[in-house]
Amino acid sequence: MRKFLLSKALGMLAVLAIVAVIVFVLTRAASGDPISVLLGDQATAEDIARVQKVYGLDKPLPVQFAYWLREVLHGNLGDSIFLQRPVTQALRERAEPTTLLALMAVAIAAAIGIPCGIVSAVFRGRWIDQLFTGVAMLGASIPSFWLGLVLIQIFAVSFGWFPVSGYGAPDAALAERVHALVLPAAVLGLLNSALIIRFTRASMLDVLGEDYVRTARSKGLAESTVVLKHALRNALVPIVTVVGLTVALMIGGAVVTETVFGLPGVGNLVVSAVLRRDYPVIQGALLVVAAIYVLINFSIDLLYAVVDPRVKVG
């Protein structure tokens, strides 16, 4: 078990290191000379040289990377050029809508996707399977902005059940904020349920073909018991992985939906940062988003060890 943990942890660190390098390279490539940008046109050559020295920008690239990494690991992601505050603070402010949205969306996606996937697998080849599979494919073909606009048109504009956009007033109660997230969560939930249906179906089909399912049937157990107690429990592991990773991807990946619905989330922040060339924000957001994904991935792997009695040995 310890060996398992150690190897997984090392792997995670390796990936994080590469992520850091990628983000560093990307932002350096984008911003060119960030100091001139920071100081503006009035800076003299002396000013620039002085600040460069402070930030270590006169040193070779790997050294810059080391400085930068040290800052990052101390929690310093720099300051946003436009928002006039530390990037970490900007991200923290944006965290809530994005996280809430991700959780709500995944809840919807799983609630639709898992049962449909199970039914699809159990009734493989029949019309209901074809229907669900077709719907899943359709779901994977719909652009989120389009679905968002459609839902807004129907439910917000025509019916007036939900706000057209926005996240509620800054002091609004949680209930009101959740209410504002219903439509965007529905968009993301519906679209991601496609993936979960396909995955659940595939995983269940795999398991339903296993020998121990046949053994369970040979004991005279009812089919529902065989499917739900014997098959599903084994099929659940990869399904939970996908669900977990979907959450991770939605943090920062719900860019389009956040924009359509005017939500002050992380994705939206990145888009405006890109349009305004606010490099510290872009850099910080990319780093945090990717790091969260890697960490969630790692946690899921750990969870395997707890859930699946066999993994402890491996």
Partner 1 sequence: MEADPSTNPRIEPRLAVQRLSTSFPTEGGLVHAVADVSFSIAPGKTTALVGESGSGKSVTSLTLMRLLAKTANARVSGVARFATREGRSVDLLKIDEQALRALRGNQLSMIFQEPMTSLNPVLTVGEQIAEGVRLHKGLGRSAALADAKRMLDLVEIPAADRRVHEYPHQLSGGMRQRVMIAIAMACDPTLLIADEPTTALDVTIQAQILALMRKLQAETGMSILFITHNLGVVAHHADDVVVMYAGRVVESAPVRPLFAAPAHPYTQGLLACLPGRARLAGRAGQPRPARLFAIRGQVASPLAPPPGCAFEPRCDLAIAACRDAMPELLATGAAREARCIRVAAALPEAA
Partner 2 sequence: MKMPPMLRQLLHRRIVLVAAVVLLIIAVLAIGAPWFASFDPNDTAVLQRLKGPSSEHLMGTDELGRDMYARIVHGARYSLAIAALTALGSVIAGTLLGLVAGFFRRLDAPLMRVVDAMMSFPDILLAIALVAILGPSLVNVVLALVLVYTPRVARVVRASTLVVRELLFVEAVRALGVRTSRILWRHILPNLMSPILVQVSFIFAYAILAEAGLSFLGVGVPPEIPTWGTMVAGGQQYAHQAFWVVLFPGLAIIFTALSLQMLGDGVRDLLDPKLKKAL
- φ/ψ of 79, rounded to 5, equals -115, 140
Query: Which phi-psi region, left, alpha or beta, contains residue 169 (left: φ > 0; alpha: ψ -120 to 50)?
Result: beta
Least separation in angstroms between residue 87's CB and partner 2 is 15
- φ/ψ of 313, rounded to 5, equals -70, -40
List of residues 6+ apart from 216 with CB closer than 8 A: 225, 226, 229, 230
79 forms bridges with which residues in the sheet? 86
Least separation in angstroms between residue 258's CB and partner 2 is 10
83-91, 104-112, 292-300, 304-312 -> range binding partner 2 (CB under 8 A)? 292-300
List of residues 6+ apart from 6 with CB closer than 8 A: none
Kindly list the residues in this chain that would bind partner 1 in the complex (CB under 8 A): 124-125, 209-212, 214-222, 230, 233-234, 308-310, 313
| Residue at token pair 């009101």 | 176
Least separation in angstroms between residue 279's CB and partner 2 is 9
x/- track of binding to partner 2 for residues 21-60 (CB under 8 A): -x---x--xx------------------------------
52-60, 67-75, 114-122, 150-158 -> range binding partner 2 (CB under 8 A)? 150-158
Contacts (CB under 8 A) with partner 2, residues 236-265: 249-253, 255-256, 259
- Crossing angle of helices 279-307/87-122, nearest 10°? 40
Helix, strand, or coil (residue 49): helix
Q: Which two tokens stand for residue 198?
A: 């396909």
**Closest C-alpha among 269, 311, 265 to residue 100:** 265
Count of residues in contact with partner 2, rule CB under 8 A: 47
Least separation in angstroms between residue 83's CB and partner 2 is 17
Based on CB atoms, which residue is closest to partner 1, 84 or 218?
218
- Could you say whether residue 18 binds partner 2 (CB under 8 A)? yes
Helix, strand, or coil (residue 86): strand
Residues lying near partner 2 in the complex (CB under 8 A): 11, 14-16, 18-19, 22, 26, 29-30, 137-138, 140-146, 149-150, 152-153, 157, 249-253, 255-256, 259, 267, 270-271, 274-275, 277, 282, 285-286, 289-291, 293-294, 297
